[in-house]
Structures are given as structure tokens and as C-alpha cells.
């Protein structure tokens, strides 16, 4: 099985590269034929990547996110999944090359440096931990995607203001569509983060009942949850304009990044593992 995993892992960067090239061609020269191919190709690559992850779980007998290369391939898959969901919702493919390029870079790093050796903590084999971590990772990935579309929204808004009708203006979806994609990424992201937090609370109480609940990571995550709750409510109530929503997603991404940096380099937390 290890040899099969190695082969699939080596093929993944090539598959993502093919996707990026195909989406870039569609961006510059859209056609119904290419659109049909992309509709099949993206879920095909995602399914192939999911197969690699499942095989890795079976081989390692644990959740494969114990180090940076494993986290990178998981994040690449999450990005592709979230983008596929939005593409299915909005029926717009002209933004795929940009996001999938990041999946490609993450997968290249992972494929070049990943290994199958090394001891990890026992809880990486705990299903509760797996559900908690997967939900939180997908939630944060959705927030990143929302921020990405927020950036595109603001760039297009600026181009319209300055009458700078370049290639980005001509090929990008309308402002309203970019705002919708931004909002549609926030809602599932919030749901996923919420479910991840709830499962994390349950798992920690069951596995580590004597540890304090409110460590720095938990407190900061709750603050981020409240922030995105407000953004989600603003989106659902239509009280936030597209521009405000775009800026809100950028602020949220900065908060998530600061959260990671603080926990990683400043304070001690239960979540400093791997």
C-alpha cells in the first residue's frame, strides 16, 4: 500500500497543474467545450486526492495531519473542495485558476517532503479528534476563500471606479457575483467552524477532563467565531454591502492569521502539537 500511496502522491501535483492550466485557458478563452471538461476534471482530481488521503489513513492508522507536509496536502484538498462547492453553487469557472494554483503549490511542497515515518500523539487516531480537526480546517479554508473573493471584489470595484478595464475586468464575474461567492463561502465556513468547536469541546471533556478549557487558543477561536457570526448575520440579513462584506472577510483572515501566530510563537496552548 505504501508504494501505491507514493505513486498517487507523486501524481497529484501533475493533476493539479493540469487543472490550473485548463482553468487558465478557460479564463482567457472560455468555451462550452472547455467548461464541460472542467466540470468533470475538478471533481475527478478531488476524488483522486480523497483516495490518497483514505489510503494514507488506512496505512498509518491515524489522521494524516501530524506534520507540515501532511497538513499541506490536506489544505490543498480543502481548498479544492470549497472552491468546487462555490463553483457548483454560482456556476462560474473563471476564478478557478487562481485558487487552484495555491492548491498546486501546497501539493508540490507536500509531495516533495512528505514521509510515512515518525511517532505521533495517540489522539491522531481518535475519531473525535479527526472530526474536530477536519471541520475546523474546512471552516478556516472557507474563510480564506471568502477573503480571496473579497480581494477580487475590491480589485474589480477599484477598476470600475478608475475605468481601468483590463483583462481582469473583462474576465472576472460581475461585482454582484463576486459578492455572492464571498458570502456563500462565509456561511458553510461558519457552520463547519461551529461543528468543529462543538466536537472539540466534547472530545476534550471526554479525553482530557482535568485540563482547563479556556486556554489561549480556545479563547481566540471563540473570538473569531463571534466575529464570523456577525459577518454571517450581516450577509443573511443583507445589511452588509458587498464592499463592507469584502473588507470584513479580509479583517477576518487577518484575525485568523494573528491567532495562528500568537499560538505558535507567543503563548503556550494545549493546541501546540504536531
48-71: pLDDT as tens digits: 999 999 998 888 888 888 788 888
Gap between the Cα atoms of 208 and 75, Å rounded = 27
Confidence of residue 74 (pLDDT cuts 50, 70, 90): very high
pLDDT, residue 119, reads 65
C-alpha cell at 265: 510563537
Q: What is the largest CA-CA distance in the chain?
A: 61
117: DSSP letter: -
pLDDT, residue 248, reads 95
Nearest to 185 by CA among 75, 41, 251, 89: 89
- Does 268 have pLDDT greater than 60? no
**What is the average pLDDT value for the chain, to the nearest integer?**
87
Distances (CA, A) of 169 to 16, 175, 241, 271: 26, 10, 20, 43
Q: Which residue has the higher pLDDT, 268 or 112?
A: 112
Helix (H, G, I), strand (E, B) or coil at 63: coil
Instruction: Please count the other Cβ atoms lying within 10 Å of the Cβ belonging to residue 83.
Output: 27
163-168 mean pLDDT: 65
φ, ψ for residue 30, nearest 5 deg: -70, 145
Gap between the Cα atoms of 54 and 63, Å rounded = 9
* Cβ–Cβ under 8 Å, residues 162 and 228: no
162-180 mean pLDDT: 78
* Cβ–Cβ under 8 Å, residues 193 and 201: no
pLDDT, residue 239, reads 87
160-177 mean pLDDT: 76
* Cβ–Cβ under 8 Å, residues 83 and 96: yes
Gap between the Cα atoms of 147 and 169, Å rounded = 19
Confidence of residue 82 (pLDDT cuts 50, 70, 90): very high
Amino acid at each position: 500500500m505504501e508504494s501505491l500511496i507514493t505513486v498517487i502522491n507523486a501524481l497529484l501535483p501533475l493533476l493539479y497543474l493540469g487543472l490550473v492550466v485548463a482553468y487558465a485557458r478557460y479564463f482567457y478563452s472560455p468555451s462550452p467545450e472547455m467548461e464541460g471538461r472542467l466540470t468533470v476534471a475538478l471533481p475527478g482530481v478531488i476524488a483522486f486526492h480523497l483516495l490518497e488521503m483514505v489510503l494514507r489513513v488506512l496505512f498509518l492508522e491515524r489522521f494524516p495531519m501530524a506534520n507540515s507536509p501532511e497538513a499541506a496536502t490536506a489544505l490543498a484538498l480543502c481548498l479544492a473542495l470549497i472552491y468546487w462547492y462555490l463553483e457548483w453553487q454560482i456556476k462560474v469557472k473563471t476564478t478557478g485558476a487562481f485558487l487552484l494554483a495555491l492548491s498546486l503549490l501546497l501539493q508540490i511542497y507536500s509531495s516533495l517532503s512528505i514521509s510515512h515515518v515518525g511517532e505521533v500523539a495517540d489522539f491522531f487516531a481518535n475519531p473525535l479528534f479527526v472530526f474536530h480537526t477536519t471541520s475546523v480546517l474546512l471552516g478556516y479554508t472557507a474563510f480564506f476563500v471568502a477573503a480571496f473573493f473579497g480581494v477580487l471584489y475590491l480589485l474589480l470595484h477599484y477598476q470600475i471606479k478608475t475605468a481601468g478595464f483590463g483583462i481582469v475586468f473583462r474576465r472576472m464575474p460581475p461585482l454582484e457575483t463576486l459578492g455572492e461567492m464571498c458570502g456563500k463561502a462565509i456561511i458553510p465556513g461558519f457552520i463547519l467552524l461551529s461543528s468543529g468547536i462543538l466536537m472539540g469541546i466534547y472530545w476534550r471533556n471526554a479525553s482530557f477532563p482535568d485540563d482547563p478549557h479556556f486556554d489561549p487558543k480556545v479563547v481566540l477561536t471563540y473570538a473569531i467565531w463571534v466575529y464570523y457570526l456577525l459577518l454571517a448575520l450581516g450577509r443573511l440579513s443583507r445589511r452588509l454591502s458587498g464592499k463592507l462584506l469584502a473588507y470584513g472577510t479580509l479583517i477576518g483572515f487577518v484575525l485568523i492569521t494573528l491567532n495562528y501566530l500568537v499560538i505558535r510563537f507567543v503563548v503556550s496552548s494545549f493546541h501546540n502539537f504536531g
